[in-house]
Structure 1
Amino acid sequence: MAYSGVVKVGGAPDVHELADMMISKVAVGPMDNNAYLLRCRATGEQLMIDAANEPDTLLRLIGDDGVTGVVTTHQHQDHWQALDTVVQATDARTYAGSRDAEGIPVPTDVPLADGDTVRFGAAQLTAVHLAGHTPGSIALVYDDPHGHPHLFTGDCLFPGGIGNTWGDASRFASLLHDVEAKLFAALPDETWVYPGHGSDTTLGNERPHIQEWRERGW
């Protein structure tokens, strides 16, 4: 069955099968967060992005093979409520943006700056620092050698706009600038976007609307 990226709390994961990687997406409550499990096909090693909540759900998704690391995209509580339980159960290494690490109660083993890499098995992700939703939010890019890039955006980019900046004009300007300069200017339209909540999109779907976002201010 083709991957749709549409998942619901209490429902089954959806799996995006790439040549070198499998990406499993699951939704957890109560805030309908997405958590992602990436599996390197060459080695079987796994990495989780945002251990948001429902640790039992996430540990079932991880399975017996464990997980080598968990990346937290930003410091907001709804993105790390299962982190401690997952780390305790799997001895996973923790990663987060260096400017958000202090806001996450589980210690960050590897603080990430813009351009840093996260490796697991034969796979590699590149961290992109995006300031505005939080000071140290990061997106993660998997540059698929057999196809288009795959982009995990946390709460910085969704279908229909950038992340919440709570009416703060300077934060909005910062986030929109970073998203334009570091994502839209750097990556092709085919780039698949996996957000922290809700359905997936592509950069090509969102690119024509950037001026609309700028004019409305959110």
Structure 2
Amino acid sequence: MLIGDGLRLTKTSVGPMDNNAYLLTHGTDALLIDAAAEPAVLLRLLDGLRLVGVVTTHRHRDHLQALAAVVAATGAPGYAGTPDAATITEATGVTCQEVWDGDAIALGGVELAVIGLVGHTPGSIALAHTPSDDTDRLFTGDSLFPGGVGKTTRGTDFDSLLHDVTAKLFDRFDDATIVHPGHGADTTLGAERPHLEEWRARRW
């Protein structure tokens, strides 16, 4: 699918938990978001392309099971949110470049902004693509889904995640913005915005 800035987006479901892996390409350069599982499937998508990076949205095992194999096969650098990076390295052996709010990851001259979202894990990140010629898109990992924010285990984590999702996503991007989550179907901020207070009240 062609999106703004001349990028092409491919979405693939992999692994027993139906993780979404997203491949963004610009010409022959590619960026992979979440090498979750089935490295052979992901590597076939890269045929003829130069992988310039693999972004891991957070440290949970189901989002990084193919990371080591993809990095070994391509030599591409890994990227992860600063608070999660050490845990990802421990689990995979891949040393990731640490990124957080204010950082950007480049693909063919196009910059995707990094947004830290604390709560589902300490170092969860989203990537924002904000082209001048098309709709904004957010790759949110497991921090925002259709119907709510990602799973949290403590009340303080829920409060943190809902705060960050509200302040850094809903307050900054318009209703047309497309949300690409770590599992399942896409949504828009406009579809989810009316339910923010409902999520706050139900605590999940």
The verdict on a shared fold, with TM-score over 0.5 as the criterion, is: yes
Question: Which amino acid is 1:102 matched to?
Answer: A
TM-score, with normalisation over the residues of structure 1?
Answer: 0.89
Q: 1:175 aligns with which of 152, 161, 177?
A: 161
Query: What is the CA RMSD across the aligned residues, in angstroms?
Result: 1.0
- Equivalents in 1 of 2:158, 2:43: separation in Å? 36
Structure 2 counterparts to residues 40-189 of structure 1, below 5 A: 40=26, 43-104=27-88, 105-166=92-153, 168-189=154-175
Q: Superposition pairs for residues 11-50 of structure 1, below 5 Å?
A: 16-19=1-4, 20-40=6-26, 43-50=27-34
Q: What do the CA deviations read for 1:172-218 (whole angstroms, capped 9, x no partner)?
A: 00000000000000001111100000000000000000011001000
8 Å CA contact retained: 1:184, 1:207? yes
Tell me the percent identity: 53
Amino acid at match of 1:135: P
Q: CA deviation at 1:44?
A: 2.2
Deviations 1:82-115 (A, max 9, x none): 0000001111011000100011133334100112
Which runs of no fewer than 5 residues in structure 1 stay unpaired? 1-15
Asked if the contact 1:24–1:38 (Cα under 8 Å) also holds between the matched residues in 2, the reply is: yes
Counting matched residue pairs gives 200
Which runs of 5 or more structure 2 residues have no equivalent in the other structure? none
User: Is the contact made by 2:68 and 2:94 (CA closer than 8 Å) also made in structure 1?
Assistant: no
Aligned-pair distance for 1:67?
Answer: 0.9
Could you tell me how far apart the structure 2 residues matched to 1:155 and 1:109 are?
A: 19
Instruction: Please report how far the alpha carbon of residue 169 of structure 1 lies from its aligned counterpart in structure 2 after TM superposition.
Output: 0.8
Question: Aligned partners of 2:63 and 2:171: how far apart in 1?
Answer: 27
Helix, strand or coil at the partner of 2:47 = helix
**Which structure has the highest helix share of the two?**
2
2:54 alignment partner, SS class:
strand
The normalised TM-score by structure 2 is 0.95
